[in-house]
Amino acid sequence: MLDTGLKILVVASEVAPFAKTGGLADVAGSLPKALAVQGNDVRVVLPRYRRIGDYATVTDFPVEVGQRKETCIVRRSRIEAKSSRGTKEVPVYFVDNYHYFDRDRLYGYEDDAERFAFFNLSILPLCEELGFRPDVVHLNDWQSGFIPLLIRIRGRHSALWNETASVFTIHNLRYQGRFPKVTLGLLGLGEEYFTPGGVEFYGDVSFMKAGLLFADVINTVSETYAREIQTPEFGEGLDGVLRKRGSDLYGIVNGINYHEYDPSSDPRLFKTYDSRNLGAKVDNKLALQRELGLSLSHEPLVGMVSRLVDQKGLDVLLEAMPEILSRPLQFVLLGSGDERYEEAFRSLARSHPGKVSVTTGFNGILAQRIYAGSDMFLMPSRFEPCGLGQLIAMRYGSIPVARRTGGIADTVSEYDVSTGTGTGFLFDRYEAEDLVAALDRALDKYRDRSTWNHIVKQAMETDFSWNKSAAMYTEVYMEALSRRGRVERPA
Ligand code: ADP
């Protein structure tokens, strides 16, 4: 019987504020808080990379990775979930091993298969060592993809694990954790799993495919992306698997943490503001211009904070750039990623001093100052599972000019002059001229102060908090538990 909250273990390879390269960290850091506030016993696990502090050791145990005997050291910290009802603690456990994780970067090493095989193999014994018996284990992206299968295998001999439900969330289908066949041996799995209907993927082993096949329920981070990935265009070679599991595949849009992302209290801003006090937003714009060496101007400031990779639509943006820069506006970019994109944008900044500012690298403070100081936020993404950039931008009153795909389609609506509704300016075709046309519509509205302020207020007051989405996750957890015979669900 499940009459109280659920015991939930959230497993992810990055969790804010401990380690972050993208949106997954935001989600893995904020969804657990929302679930805790709603009355669940939630705990979070991630690897301990070098950049994470030396938190207290809780326990250690041996883990066999193929022939190798390694030690999993478990460390512990916590995140605090604040709500109107007080503060709740969410324990955070770190899987530590000097050989695998005492490194500068999170991913991108030759032995990533072995590193994350170790991570996957550590999770069940970690629960047993801690005496934490989860109702639901919630896995995220390829780095935790084999855990549903490991739970099923353990469940053959353990009633407890047999009753444990697994939910696997796709945050980005492009990154699949595809490695040579020997990876199976590292995971202690036999040849019988290496079939096209199993975890084989074109001669390799796929962590992502393992998660998609063996989790009780799967979901992704917006309804539109859940539909898109069942097509060859967005399916990254796994659309067939996803269509087969179509009736177990849900779309739940991400929220953002309203305490962390709050323009009325954000300590990273030059000046705090809210939707009734937009004058102070202008002060942020002027301060940002000063900080970045732009001309002090009331021209619209177009911002962008993004990983600089193909997904983000940078080829189309670069093609559109000459046209965009012929308009009376300023352009501010913060991003890091592919060298060719970093250099292309740096060169634009050099040739347009005072008008274009480009900062490469990862900088959480500057990111918030751009959300607060910009009037418009560019997201010309080729595909976008959910996208947090547009949500944070709207919360800070920066109006998205974005491509209608994935989560952007589910969270931004085109401003409609006749009804006065809408929170952004969208385009459909992945073409430079369509991006410019959307930006021109935004620039046109910007000229009319009262219309623009109305759009800004509307965007800032739309609810993108976790409340609704966390409740939907609880529904999905219950659905997964029903597959384990733990709860009865109406047909
Ligand atoms: P993705 O997960 O594909 O990178 P999202 O829009 O879902 O894209 O999430 C991106 C998150 O990372 C946002 O919180 C954004 O502000 C942040 N971010 C991206 N690039 C940088 C950067 N260079 N510096 C600071 N924050 C960044």
Structure confidence by residue, pLDDT tens digits, 34-46? 999 999 999 999 9
Cβ(76)–Cβ(91) under 8 Å? Answer: yes
User: What number does the ligand 1 atom closest to the CA of 254 have?
Assistant: 7
The CATH homologous superfamily of the domain defined by 279-464: Glycogen Phosphorylase B; (3.40.50.2000)
DSSP state of 396: T
Nearest CA to ligand 1 atom 9: 23
Residues 317-358 pLDDT 10s: 999 999 999 999 999 999 999 999 999 999 999 999 999 999
Which residue's C-alpha comes closest to atom 12 of ligand 1?
Answer: 22
Question: Residues in the chain, how many?
Answer: 491
User: How sure is the predictor about 490, in pLDDT bands with cuts at 50, 70 and 90?
Assistant: low
- Listed in sequence order, the residues at least 6 apart from 257 whose beta carbon sits closer than 8 Å to its beta carbon are 26, 29, 30, 33, 465, 466
pLDDT band at 1 (very low <50, low <70, confident <90, very high): very low
The closest-lying atom of ligand 1 relative to the alpha carbon of residue 361 is 23
pLDDT of the residue at 93: 98
Tokens of 373: 């100081």
Decide if pLDDT at 491 tops 70. Answer: no
pLDDT digits (tens, 9 = 90+) for 281-304: 999 999 999 999 999 999 999 999
Report pLDDT digits (tens) over 359-368: 999 999 999 9
Instruction: Name the one residue in this structure whose structure tokens are 């407890």.
Output: 160
pLDDT at 127: 98
- Say how far apart CA 425 and CA 312 lie, in whole Å: 17
The helices-and-strands tally (H runs, E runs) of the chain is 18, 18
Residue 3 has pLDDT above 60, yes or no: no
The verdict on the CB of residue 148 being under 6 Å from ligand 1 is no
Give the model's pLDDT for residue 82: 85
- Indicate if ligand 1 lies below 6 Å from the C-beta of 389: yes
CA of 23 to the centre of ligand 1 (A): 6
**Angle subtended at Cα 170 by Cα 167 and Cα 171, rounded to the nearest 5 degrees:** 130
Choose between 147 and 83: higher pLDDT.
Answer: 147
Q: Which secondary structure element, helix H or strand E, spans residue 44, and what is its range?
A: strand 41-47
239 SS3 class: helix
Name the residue with higher pLDDT: 46 or 86.
46
Residue of 362, 365, 384, 394 with the most ligand 1 atoms within 8 Å of its CB, for mutation = 362
Closest alpha carbon to 45 in 112, 95, 106 = 95
Percent over 70 (pLDDT), the chain: 99
Assess whether the C-beta atom of 260 lies below 6 angstroms from ligand 1.
no
- If you measure from the C-alpha of residue 320 to the centroid of ligand 1, how many angstroms do you get, rounded to a whole number? 22
Domain ranges of the chain: 7-255+467-483, 279-464
pLDDT tens-digit series, residues 153-183:
999 999 999 999 999 999 999 999 999 999 9
CATH assignment of 7-255+467-483, among 3.40.50.720, 1.10.260.40, 3.40.50.2000, 3.20.20.80: 3.40.50.2000
Cα(480)–Cα(166) distance, rounded to whole angstroms? 7
| pLDDT confidence of residue 471 | 94
The pLDDT tens digits for 431-464 are 999 999 999 999 999 999 999 999 999 999 999 9
Q: Is the CB of 44 under 6 A from ligand 1?
A: no
Q: Among 46, 126, 24, 147, which residue's Cα sits nearest to residue 90?
A: 46
Q: Is the minimum distance from the CB of 255 to ligand 1 under 6 angstroms?
A: no
Question: How many Cα atoms within 13 Å fall on the side-chain side of residue 185?
Answer: 6
Are 398 and 374 a contacting pair, CB within 8 Å?
Answer: yes
Write out pLDDT tens, residues 392-445: 999 999 999 999 999 999 999 999 999 999 999 999 999 999 999 999 999 999
Question: Using a 6 Å cutoff on CB, does residue 313 contact ligand 1?
Answer: no
* Cα gap 368→461, rounded to integer Å: 18
279-464 shares the fold of 7-255+467-483: yes
Tell which residue, 436, 426, 376, 378, has the closest CA to residue 404: 426
pLDDT of residue 4: 61
- Rounded Cα gap, residues 440 and 419, in angstroms: 20
The pairs formed by 16-21 with CB atoms below 8 angstroms and a separation of 24 or more are 17/79, 18/46, 18/52, 18/77, 18/92, 18/94, 19/46, 19/47, 19/49, 19/51, 19/52, 19/106, 21/106, 21/107, 21/307, 21/362
